[in-house]
Amino acid sequence: MTIKTPFLFFICFSLTTLSYSQQRYFTKNGNISFAAGSGEDIDGVNKTTTSIFDATSGQIEFAVLVKGFEFKRSLMQAHFNENYMESEKYPKSIFKGTISNINTVNFKKDGLYPVTVKGVLDMHGIKKELQAAGTLKVTGETVSTNAEFTVLLADYNIEIPSLVKDKISKTVTIKVNCNYNVLK
């Protein structure tokens, strides 16, 4: 099974799940970044996040390959994949949830709309509920999303070795930025 197979499954499943809605938006190059440094610059970015959302129901899903995160230094990337995220064992992270106030967004009028997203983040084999504030920016048929939230590494059984505990934060700030187009 290739790495792309899970994404094809995700896309087909999502399209089937959301197929009864009026308006769906999709991206396969969303941007998820995180900052985990405490005394050191430990930032990762993934620009190949796949996401789909339904403008009628507010249902939203994200899938990201853990190995897709890039770092300034290759050694950090190796440690991230091998020691912390164990990307061979847990190759992807998935969020499934709902934009709870989707009815406040007018997709026919350009503007910036505050939203709240609630759902379950499945990361490192652990599923946890989370809630995040964000914005949807409507520009014609394009929708951009921005959100930021914090996770506690211990909640996802991600251990920080004592040797580097002063350099890595116990909490990680995650930023999500996606540009969606209408799924036709």
How many whole angstroms separate alpha carbon 27 and alpha carbon 12? 14
pLDDT category of residue 21 using cuts at 50, 70 and 90: very low
Question: How do residues 153-174 score in pLDDT, each as one tens digit?
Answer: 999 999 887 777 778 888 999 9
How many whole angstroms separate alpha carbon 178 and alpha carbon 130? 19
Query: Considering the entire predicted model, what is its pTM?
Result: 0.84
Among candidates 77, 90, 78, 82, which has minimal Cα distance to 6? 90
Q: Which CATH architecture has domain 4-182?
A: Beta Barrel (2.40)
- When mean pLDDT is compared across 36-40, 48-52, 85-89, the lowest value belongs to 36-40
Q: Is the Cβ–Cβ distance between 119 and 130 less than 8 Å?
A: yes
- Boundaries of every domain in the chain: 4-182
Q: What is the token pair recorded at 137?
A: 């920016």
* Maximum Cα interatomic distance, the chain, rounded to a whole number of Å: 53
Q: Is the Cβ–Cβ distance between 152 and 170 less than 8 Å?
A: yes
Question: How do residues 114-139 score in pLDDT, each as one tens digit?
Answer: 999 999 999 999 999 999 999 999 99
